[in-house]
C-alpha cells in the first residue's frame, strides 16, 4: 500500500524549550492500523498534533496524502483537515451544542445538505449507545458519554485518516472493545487509524496493527521502521 503519512527528521520545539520531538521519521501505509505508545510526556500528543495539522514542525518534512504539509499554504489546510478525523484527549466537544449537533459538525463543515445529515448522525448516536441522548448538552453527559460523542464526531465523515488520542481513557472495557471494533471496521473500509494509548491489552486486541513507541520525544526505533507489532511481541 502507498504511504499516506511520511515524517522525515521532524523536530518540534515549543518556544525556547528543548525539543519535544526530535528526529522523528516514519512512514504510515494507507489503510494501516497503528498504535502510538510511550510514557506520559513522551510526545505522543505533540506527534498527533502534527499529524492532524494543529501544529507545524520546527524542522523536518511531513507529507500527508503525498503532499508536503509543512510548506502548504494556510488556505489549503482545511481541505486536508477534512480528510482527517480526530478524537481529542479532552474531547473538545462544543459545549453549547447538543450531542447530535456535535456529531453533525464535520458534515456541516463539509457542506453536506441538512436533509442528508440526520440519518448518519442518528445511526452514529445509536451505535455509540446515545440514541436517546441526542439533545443532551456535553455538560450533562458523563465522561464516557462525552468520549463516545467525540469518537462519533471523529468517524462520521469517513475520514481517510483517523487520529485518536487515548480514545478509551474514559470508557469501560465493553465500550473500549466496541470502539476498537468500530475502528477496525473503519480500517477495513480503508481508513488509516492512528491511536495513541497506554492501554497495552487494547493493542493486543487488534490483529495486524503495528506499534510505534515514543521515548522522550524520539521514536524508540531509530531507523524509523515500525517495530513491536502486537502479535510478534506476543510470540516473542
Partner 1 sequence: MVSRADRRAAAAARHRLLPGGRVAGPMLWIIAIMMFLTVLAAAAGLGLGAAVQSMSADLAGRASVQVVEANPQQRDQLAARALTALRGADGVQAAAAVDPALLADQIRPWLGEEATSGDLPLPALIDVTLTPGDVDAKVARLRRLLGGLSPALRIEPHAAFLLPLAGLLSALGWLAAGVVLLMTLATGAVVVLAARGAHDSHRGTIEVLHLMGSTDVQIARLFQRRIGLDAMLGSALGFAFAAFVILLIGLRLSATGSELLGAVRLPSISWAVLALLPVAGVMLATLAARWTVLRALGRAL
Chain residues binding partner 1 by CB under 8 A are: 52-56, 74-75, 77-82, 86, 92, 94-97, 101, 104-106, 108-110, 113-115
Nearer to partner 1, 56 or 227 (CB): 56
Nearer to partner 1, 116 or 123 (CB): 116
Q: What minimum distance in Å lies between the beta carbon of 20 and partner 1?
A: 16
Instruction: Decide: helix, strand or coil at residue 144.
Output: helix
Given the complex with partner 1, which of 73 and 234 has the nearer CB atom? 73
Pick the closer one to partner 1 by CB: 15 or 222.
Answer: 15
SS3 for 227? strand
> In degrees to the nearest 10, what's the CA dihedral of 87, 88, 92, 98?
20
Q: How far is the CB of 138 from partner 1 (least distance, A)?
A: 12
Phi-psi sector, 151: left (phi>0), alpha (psi -120 to 50), beta: alpha
Given the DSSP bridges, would you call strands 161-165 and 192-196 parallel, antiparallel or unpaired? parallel
Among 63, 52, 54, smallest CA distance to 10 is for: 63
Q: In the bound complex, what is the minimum distance in angstroms from residue 125's beta carbon to partner 1?
A: 16
Closer residue to partner 1, CB minimum distance, 29 or 61: 61
Minimum Å distance from CB 160 to partner 1?
Answer: 12
Alpha-carbon gap, residue 217 to 20, rounded angstroms: 5
Residue 102 C-beta: closest distance to partner 1, Å: 9
Q: How far apart are CA 22 and CA 183, in angstroms?
A: 29
Amino acid at each position: 500500500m502507498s504511504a499516506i503519512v511520511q515524517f522525515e527528521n521532524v523536530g518540534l520545539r515549543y518556544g525556547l524549550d528543548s525539543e519535544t520531538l526530535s528526529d522523528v521519521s516514519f512512514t504510515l501505509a494507507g489503510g494501516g492500523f497503528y498504535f502510538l505508545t510511550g510514557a506520559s510526556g513522551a510526545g505522543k500528543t505533540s506527534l498527533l498534533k502534527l499529524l492532524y495539522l494543529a501544529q507545524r514542525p520546527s524542522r523536518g518534512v511531513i507529507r500527508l496524502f503525498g503532499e508536503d504539509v509543512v510548506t502548504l499554504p494556510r488556505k489549503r489546510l482545511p481541505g486536508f483537515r477534512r480528510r482527517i478525523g480526530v478524537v481529542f484527549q479532552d474531547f473538545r466537544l462544543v459545549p453549547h451544542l447538543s450531542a447530535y449537533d456535535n456529531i453533525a459538525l464535520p458534515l456541516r463543515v463539509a457542506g453536506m445538505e441538512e436533509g442528508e445529515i440526520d440519518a448518519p448522525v442518528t445511526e452514529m448516536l445509536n451505535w455509540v449507545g446515545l440514541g436517546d441522548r441526542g439533545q443532551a448538552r456535553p455538560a450533562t453527559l458523563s465522561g464516557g458519554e462525552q468520549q463516545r460523542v467525540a469518537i462519533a464526531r471523529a468517524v462520521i465523515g469517513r475520514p481517510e485518516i483517523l487520529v485518536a488520542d487515548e480514545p478509551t481513557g474514559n470508557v469501560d472495557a465493553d465500550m473500549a472493545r466496541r470502539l476498537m471494533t468500530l475502528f477496525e471496521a473503519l480500517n477495513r473500509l480503508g481508513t488509516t487509524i492512528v491511536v495513541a494509548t497506554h492501554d497495552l491489552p487494547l493493542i493486543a486486541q487488534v490483529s495486524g496493527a503495528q506499534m510505534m513507541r515514543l521515548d522522550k520525544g524520539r521514536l524508540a526505533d531509530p531507523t524509523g521502521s515500525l517495530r513491536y507489532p502486537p502479535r510478534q511481541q506476543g510470540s516473542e
